Amino acid sequence: MWWGSAIEAPDPGRSARFYADLLGWPIVHEEPGTAIVGPADGVFLVFQEVAGYQPPVWPPIEGHQRAMQHLDFQVGDLDEAVAEAVALGATLASHQPQDHVRVLLDPAGHPFCLCLDEG
């Protein structure tokens, strides 16, 4: 059974609060150095503090920390979802490779994508 993903962060509580607000999920556990977000019946996002955290860069630049993974979220209204994420503390990335996807950076600098549900 897959339980969730662990994501490095300089401030796990701040990262957990950002994603909890973005997704409408509760913070289900928090202690020094670790915070966990997840719905009651789903997969969890675990944020863990690391010393010397270096945020990834987007788009990738030779010699800089690359994103090892990113999260994708499907949304019904791309402009509205971007505005909400920015209001919560995200930053719109300068490089946008697709018309139906917006790349943003969370408060810790992790890229994530908002993908328009075209179904």
> Read out DSSP for 4-63?
EEEEEES-HHHHHHHHHHHHTPPEEEEETTEEEE--TTS-EEEEEE-TT-----SS--TT
Per-residue pLDDT band at 111 (split at 50, 70, 90): very high
Q: Give the model's pLDDT for residue 34.
A: 97
pLDDT tens digits, 71-106? 999 999 999 999 999 999 999 999 999 999 999 999
Q: Which CATH number fits domain 54-119: 3.10.350.10, 3.30.565.10, 3.40.50.720, 3.10.180.10?
A: 3.10.180.10
Domain 1-52 annotated CATH 3.40.50.2300: no
Contact yes or no for 54/66 (Cβ under 8 A): no
- Would you kindly state where each structural domain of the chain is located, as residue ranges? 1-52, 54-119
CA distance 19 to 73: 11
CA distance 48 to 18: 14
Query: What global pTM score does this model have?
Result: 0.89
Whether 118 shows a pLDDT value over 90: the answer reads no
Identity of residue 32:
P
Residues near 13 by Cβ (< 8 Å), separated by ≥ 6? 30, 35, 47
Q: Give the model's pLDDT for residue 69.
A: 86
